[in-house]
Amino acid sequence: MDDSIWAAARASRDWLDAANGTGDTELTCRLLKLTEEAGEAAAAWIGVLGQNPRKGVTHTREDVAAELADVVFTALVAIESLGLDARTVVSACADKVRARLA
């Protein structure tokens, strides 16, 4: 069994495909899920800062990191849902970044 992140993203896509189908509305929801997860990361950071005086400090940096991981994984599933290989797409992005840093 492939325990990689990439395999987990594919398995998640397969599970969502089986449960919800693969039409444009479903793909739209998967892309919007990314925004939802990013909002949760932002809310966690606000909680780290204690920016809301009514709530005070409510989160840790570890909470923020976990929310950011949700963003990353959700993006991988969305890439797979577009019919592309997430590993290839992310590797190409990393190559562009490395080229800019050179």
For 96, the domain range is: 22-101
Considering the domain boundaries, does residue 85 fall inside one? yes
- Domain-located, residue 29: yes
pLDDT at residue 1, rounded to an integer: 62
> Residue 79 — φ and ψ, nearest 5°?
-60, -45
Q: pTM score, two decimals? A: 0.93
pLDDT in tens, 50-97: 999 999 999 999 999 999 999 999 999 999 999 999 999 999 999 999
Per-residue model confidence (pLDDT) at position 18: 98
Q: Is 4 part of a structural domain of the chain?
A: no
Give the three-class secondary structure for 22.
Answer: coil
62: in domain: yes
Residue 15 domain flag? no
Residue 100 has pLDDT above 80, yes or no: yes
* Number of structural domains the chain divides into: 1
Report pLDDT digits (tens) over 1-53: 678 999 999 999 999 999 999 999 999 999 999 999 999 999 999 999 999 99
What is the domain-level CATH number for residue 30? 1.10.287
* Three-state secondary structure of 44-87: HHHHHHCCCCCCCCCCCHHHHHHHHHHHHHHHHHHHHHCCCCHH
Q: What is the pLDDT of residue 57?
A: 98
Tell me 42's DSSP state: H
Q: Do 78 and 58 meet the contact criterion of CB atoms below 8 Å apart?
A: no
Mean of pLDDT over the chain? 97
In a domain, 34, yes or no: yes
Q: How many angstroms separate the Cα of 59 from the Cα of each of 28, 53, 55, 76, 84?
A: 30, 14, 10, 25, 35
**Is residue 53 domain-resident?**
yes
